[in-house]
Amino acid sequence: MIVGYISFLVVFYFANSWAPNTLAAATKNPALAAPTTLSLGLGGIIGALVFGFISTRVNPRILTPIFLIVGAVGLALFGFIETNLPASLIELFIASFFFSAGVTGFYQIIPKLYPTLARATGYGIVAGAGRIGGIASPILAGAAFDAHMPVPTAFVIFALPLIVSALTIVGLSALESAQRRRMTTAEGAAEANEPLASPTK
């Protein structure tokens, strides 16, 4: 889960830091940075609220990967339509709606991975490790753009960690399901091998 959270934060900080600058530079209009930031923020807030509502009815472990994958597709597409206004702002709002909701998903999933008495510690470790993604994101993005990487390529590449993040959640759920099945099978075998109690006289 640490890998998944780090991957998520790489994308989260990349989108919020570089999408406004990219759009402003591509259109040669610095004033567009503000509405781009607003579009990202509104999408994230509304996405988190909607996710929170739906997650009361759908398992967050199912919902979060779906949101992250849709968000990855949306973020990747932004790189191809960056100069197309207002479509790029709308598309960025939709992308943020989905991938920013991943924060809410992780907040729901991570604490439940640990016993009650260790939840605060466990979550703190994952959250602290996740900051590696926040630190690495601007460094990696800066290196990519300094190397004159095309904007569409950069956004596709930086959307991929969301897929990694989604797969870690799916993999964790699959692993836990397999462990539960093995435990159930072992318990059933143990019960079958127990000697029958001798009848009382």
Q: Are 79 and 55 in contact (CB under 8 A)?
A: no
Mean pLDDT of successive 10-residue stretches along the chain, which has 201 residues? 91 92 86 90 95 94 95 93 85 94 90 84 88 92 92 94 95 81 71 59 50
Alpha helices in the chain (DSSP H): 2-27, 33-54, 60-78, 87-99, 102-109, 119-146, 151-193
30 in a domain, yes or no?
yes
CA dist 52 → 27, 49, 55, 63, 93 (Å):
35, 5, 5, 10, 18
Structural domains in the chain (count): 1
The enclosing domain of 182 has a CATH number of 1.20.1250.20
The answer to whether residue 6 is domain-embedded is yes
Asked if residue 128 lies in contact with residue 3, where contact means CB atoms within 8 angstroms, the answer is no
Question: Residue 70 has what pLDDT?
Answer: 96
